[in-house]
Structure 1
Amino acid sequence: MTFQSLVKQAIIPQESGFMLTTSFDQESFNQVVMSTYGRFPLALERGVGCRVWDNQGNSYLDFVAGIATCTLGHAHPAMIEAVTRQIQKLHHVSNLYYIPEQGELAKWIVDHSCADRVFFCNSGAEANEAAIKLARKYAHTVLDIANPIILTANASFHGRTLATVTATGQPKYQKNFDPLVPGFHYVDYNDIRAVEAAVTELDEGNYRVGAILIEPLQGEGGIRPGNVAYFQRLRQICDEIGILLIFDEVQVGMGRSGKLWGYEHLGVEPDIFTSAKGLGGGIPIGAMMSKKSCDIFQPGEHASTFGGNPFVCAVALSVCQTLEKENILQNVQEQGTHLREGLKVIALKYPQHISEVRGWGLINGMEIKAESSLTAADFVKAAMDEGLLLVAAGPKVVRFVPPLIVTEEEINQALHAVEKALAKVTA
């Protein structure tokens, strides 16, 4: 049975061992789980392909995909097979020993990117932490900078740990967590003059810029693609003064942009780049990749207990191989174009509310005009009522990040839901 036939069969719940549960209690949940998320009153129970069901049996098109994470959607046969096979074999051992599955995944990444080396961890924040540590060591030991500064962009997002939230150029994520980690400076995204000025002005005494950390496309900052000329000049600046160029590809990498890596859209290669989210298709894994020239970590300088264990690497490798085998990048390009064109047609009908539709592949944003009373959160709730799950990317941008296997029919269903939701919230 093909995957798409499994999806179609699952549209009508079958008696196949799935048990819908109505005993979930939201109040009991809130009594024992910390309130670190603003949750919708929705308890999701199962999924197949691009569709999920709640514990009441209601189905939804999932254009959140775990926030750009479920690369192959839900319950993909390749992942089920990899999970089943590996959990029966070996799921976790320490990195004190060689892990063949880790080596296979690293080789796939190296063979399909500009990287020479890979470090595995558990999340995007950890991958960016590793990149920050490597950049600081490189600045101290190779560039002889006593107090290295890492440039990042305003409106960026790099994680929730103390160092990565400091690197994140959004004060709302940093509030009440000071003192923040020193050694970061922010410049406007796609503004090369701001970068050139910072590199010059921050060269004083023992302080100097040692690296630039930036997203090829800003995700949480509103789905803003990088400008090609800007990124090519960044590469030139880094080469001229010998500093590292680091790309955060946690959200945009692993095929979501229509290319395997976001940097391929920009005509430059980073010295270091990071991945997570889509790499494991929903199984927690992160990775930091680097060129051989900046692979200067020594044993004991960085580590991760769970990073790169046999289980996660086997599943992530199945995701990588499926991207190739099923030619999924072509689907991302075709369906991404179809989605953007459809959203632009809808936007033209609401010129007083929608200002722009933008993105790459299957990471797209619909921006609501600043003067409109409509918010992204309002629209996300309205779309949910129409059976479509979406996620905001800031107060005025609605993000569309479905699984990379999404079909034209599902795109059309989503566009229909978007139009119905817009009609209701703007009436």
Structure 2
Amino acid sequence: MTTLAGSSSGAQAPTTTDSAGSTGSTANAGWLARYTEAVMNTFGTPSRVLVRGQGAQVWDADGKEYTDLLAGIAVNCLGHAHPAIVEAVTDQLGTLGHVSNFFTTPAQVRLAEELIALAFPGRNAGGSRVFLANSGTEANEAAFKIARRHGGGSRPRVLALQDAFHGRTMGALALTHKAAYREPFEPLPGGVEFIPAGDVDALRSALGPDVAALIVEPIQGEAGVRELPAGYLEAARELTEAVGALLIIDEVQSGMGRSGAWMAHHLLAPGVVPDVVTLAKGLGGGIPIGAVVATGEAAAALGPGQHGTTFGGNPVACAAALAVIDTIRGQDLLARVERLGSAWAQELAAVDGVDQVRGRGLLIGVGLAEGLPPAGEIAAALAERGFIVNAPRPDTIRLAPPFILSDDDARAFTTALSEALSRALSEEVSS
């Protein structure tokens, strides 16, 4: 494991002072002790205190270096401290930081135009509109309200998929399948029904004239990075159109180039045009922003006063998103994501102890073989080796690194994973 002082950049390790005023190896512990006294326990105790990032690397309060293969859960698509985002945010904040939704700004208008073109390529933009929010949860909350408006009282049912994750506000939570997330906050908004993911017959049976919308993730990230099977999205579009229901595609995690295309559904079902697409995470490259991109009737479903947000569409976040789009396009990062993701997936699949590699581009789920410790323990062992990943399921390691990740860093992780799994397998045998 390397430290910043020993890295090729030649930079010095950050000096961090803990609550007692000392520096060095106690810095992480000091900050974590203060965290537990000051921050609500909604996430559990963090494993480390991160103080700086550059590119695909981050450093903790003790100066230890890590390769960030999670990128804030698919958020920091250009890595940390990317100059294009830094410049865009600095320039915009020095010009105009916030104006409220009584006004608009050129950055907001330009971003909306860009998102329509990215979500619905080749279509007449005149029938599409964008709502800008602050997160993926808020984007899905707005999409839920669009579904309700489309239902108009005569379509009370909304369909979602088993193992879906769409957020934690009350509306988005109602669309999220996991019981542990839902049950503490019931009763949730009603009318949502869950059907098996990828099962066309189940979808056909569930749909009817009383269904307002179907919401799906093309790749279910929290389910272990599992993409919908071939043909499902095409069937979903055909069947929802037949009964007059909206098709909402949640691209919060899989969109904005993460899959190797601007939208994952462009890869999985190129001919499918949804009514609504939701975006966030990588859209701002680390600056909070979410978006709902709607077309046709769905684009006009919400009228003045029916939805809103104080900070959504603020010029600073919009400037960051425009910088992300310009950089991905200008540096041909979609092709980079596809090439690296494809090659890396093959290398990971060859590691002893890996049962399956799933996903597209740089949204990768590494399925672990039976007999290994839970994925959370493997993720902790990898952190000790200097790699940040996470475990959305007990049998899955998720990788969602910056698009700028180097081939060398990817190979180094594959080696570290092989060593970690080999050690875990040998310990299982000896025990």
TM-score by length of 2: 0.90
- Report Cα offsets for 1:335-370 as digits up to 9, x if no partner: 101210111010xx22xxx3211110000101124x
- Matches of 1:152 and 1:37 in 2, distance apart? 26
Aligned residues: 403
Say whether residues 1:237 and 2:236 are aligned partners. no
Alpha-carbon contact 2:349-2:355 (below 8 Å) kept: no
2:63 equivalent in structure 1: 57
- Report Cα offsets for 1:291-322 as digits up to 9, x if no partner: 03322211111101000001100111000110
Residue aligned with 1:288, SS: strand
2:310 equivalent in structure 1: 305
Say whether residues 1:43 and 2:49 are aligned partners. yes
Q: How high is the sequence identity, in percent, across the aligned residues?
A: 38
Aligned partner of 2:323 among 318, 325, 328: 318
Residue aligned with 1:212, SS: strand
- Report Cα offsets for 1:226-247 as digits up to 9, x if no partner: 1221111100001111110000
Aligned partner of 1:98 among 101, 104, 117: 104
Residue aligned with 1:71, SS: coil
1:131 equivalent in structure 2: 143
The one-letter amino acid of 1:420's match is E
Aligned partner of 1:327 among 332, 337, 348: 332
Given the superposition, is the C-alpha separation of residues 63 and 39 from structure 1 closer, same or farther in structure 2, using an over 3 Å criterion? farther
Cα distance, 1:425 vs structure 2: 2.1
The one-letter amino acid of 2:16's match is T
Alpha-carbon contact 2:366-2:397 (below 8 Å) kept: yes
**Counterparts in 2 of 1:217-228, with a 5 A limit?**
217-228=219-230
Cα distance, 1:38 vs structure 2: 2.7
Cα distance, 1:11 vs structure 2: 4.2
- Matches of 1:106 and 1:416 in 2, distance apart? 42
- Report Cα offsets for 1:121-156 as digits up to 9, x if no partner: 00000000000001110111xxxx435211000001
Cα distance, 1:384 vs structure 2: 0.6
1:3 equivalent in structure 2: none
- Report Cα offsets for 1:55-104 as digits up to 9, x if no partner: 11110110010000001000111011112111111111111012111001
The one-letter amino acid of 1:20's match is T
Cα distance, 1:416 vs structure 2: 1.2
- Matches of 2:394 and 2:45 in 1, distance apart? 16
Alpha-carbon contact 2:372-2:425 (below 8 Å) kept: no
Aligned partner of 2:176 among 147, 150, 168: 168
Say whether residues 1:274 and 2:274 are aligned partners. no
Cα distance, 1:183 vs structure 2: 1.1
Gaps of 5+ in 2: 19-26, 427-431
- Matches of 1:401 and 1:238 in 2, distance apart? 31
Residue aligned with 1:228, SS: coil
1:356 equivalent in structure 2: 356
- Report Cα offsets for 1:200-251 as digits up to 9, x if no partner: 5xx6xxxx21100010110101100112211111000011111100001000
2:261 equivalent in structure 1: 259
Question: Which aligned runs of 4 or more in structure 1 are off by greater than 6 angstroms?
Answer: 7-10
Given the superposition, is the C-alpha separation of residues 12 and 98 from structure 1 closer, same or farther in structure 2, using an over 3 Å criterion? closer
Given the superposition, is the C-alpha separation of residues 9 and 292 from structure 1 closer, same or farther in structure 2, using an over 3 Å criterion? farther
Residue aligned with 1:295, SS: helix
Residue aligned with 2:63, SS: coil
1:416 equivalent in structure 2: 415
The one-letter amino acid of 1:125's match is T
Alpha-carbon contact 1:10-1:48 (below 8 Å) kept: no
2:11 equivalent in structure 1: 14
Alpha-carbon contact 2:207-2:243 (below 8 Å) kept: no
